Structure 1
Amino acid sequence: MSESPLLPPLPHAPEVLIECPRFSFVKRRADGSVDFVSPVPCPYNYGSIPGLMSGDGDPLDAVVLGSRLSRGQCVRVEVVAVLGFVDSGMPDPKVICAAQPMSGLERAGLEAFFRVYAFFKRGLHLVRGNSTDTRFTGWLPVPRAAEATVRPAP
């Protein structure tokens, strides 16, 4: 299953709202409610891109690589990749943002993290009685939005 047709076009550097700072155990939704409590801390800043929706009907998830950011902070960071993910049977891609290109080690770390994350989310969905089809699906192409061209005034 390929989620790329369901991804909206992405700006080069979207604004990301941080919902779960790096090393947090609690993943919150954009409204502040608790979505998931992890047995291990999240090694990334996790949030969403306000105004862009994912296939699951929630704001499009984003991961911001780099140092720890504050919950509620909005940052504008370049899109470097898109990670394919299915959560409870619904496409739920993760937009990866960073100030510089991803290294091979960062790429491998993201894959490992989201495979483990999927394992724990499947357990949570099983307890909640939801579909347990939750998994990392690979790397997706980045659908780019047409960037506005600024023309000098005549």
Structure 2
Amino acid sequence: MINITAMIECPKGSNHKYDYDPEKRQFTLSKILPAGLSFPFDFGSIPGTVGGDGDPLDIIVISEITGFPGCLINCRIIGVLQVEQTERDGETMRNDRYIGIPDVSQLFSETNDLSDLPEAILNQLEAFFKNYNEQAGKEFRVIKRLNAKEAASVIKPLLANHKV
């Protein structure tokens, strides 16, 4: 099992999209989601990493709590949604979504693998990101769901600079 520290950018239930700028060391409001669309769980990044889109790796933090922009949460990685995202200009890139559980979670304390989550939660996450990207004129396609062991083998080499 891989343990990381996630930095929350967009809290669960928020319809605001924030982006963290590591050079300026600040958050910027980058968009307001359409009415009725909000983040189903905390969404953020894994500091010190770089994904296929050139940004830090994305992470969804599944929990009964709600963080806030800048909140650091120690998590275990339970899986990853491997994703292809097609931008408005037609460029397609990988933009995977890692899935983490906070070490302090009580509700999800026994959740150690993607297979431990209800299928409904995974379907909700995929539907949210598909809809979110469609609203921005992009295409979002889940290629594969990886379990905790598979996710660990993918993320381990990307954590070289992960320090918080």
Distance, in Å, in 1 between the alignment partners of 2:140 and 2:38 is: 19
Aligned length: 126
Alignment of 1:21 with 2:11, yes or no, is yes
Unaligned runs of 5+ residues in structure 2 are: 22-26, 102-107, 158-164
Residue type of the alignment partner of 2:43: Y
Percent identity reads 26
Moved over 6 A (4+): none
Distance, in Å, in 2 between the alignment partners of 1:15 and 1:21 is: 16
Structure richer in strand, relative to its length: 2
Residue type of the alignment partner of 1:77: C
Partner of 2:160: none
Partner of 1:41: 38
Unaligned runs of 5+ residues in structure 1 are: 1-10, 123-131, 147-154
Distance, in Å, in 1 between the alignment partners of 2:75 and 2:50 is: 18
Partner of 1:90: 93
Matches within 5 A, 1:110-149: 110-122=125-137, 132=138, 134-141=139-146, 142=151, 143-145=154-156
Max Rg structure: 1
Alignment of 1:57 with 2:57, yes or no, is no
Root-mean-square deviation over aligned CA pairs: 1.9
Residue type of the alignment partner of 2:6: V
Q: Give the CA deviation at 1:87.
A: 4.8
Distance, in Å, in 2 between the alignment partners of 1:43 and 1:144 is: 23
Distance, in Å, in 2 between the alignment partners of 1:115 and 1:68 is: 22
Distance, in Å, in 1 between the alignment partners of 2:133 and 2:79 is: 19
Distance, in Å, in 2 between the alignment partners of 1:41 and 1:68 is: 13
Partner of 2:24: none
User: Could you tell me the TM-score, scaled by structure 1's length?
Assistant: 0.73
User: Could you tell me the TM-score, scaled by structure 2's length?
Assistant: 0.69
After the TM superposition, which of the residue ranges 97-106 and 37-46 deviates more from structure 2?
A: 97-106
Q: Give the CA deviation at 1:115.
A: 1.6
Partner of 1:69: 67
Q: Give the CA deviation at 1:119.
A: 1.0
Partner of 1:81: 79
Distance, in Å, in 2 between the alignment partners of 1:139 and 1:117 is: 19
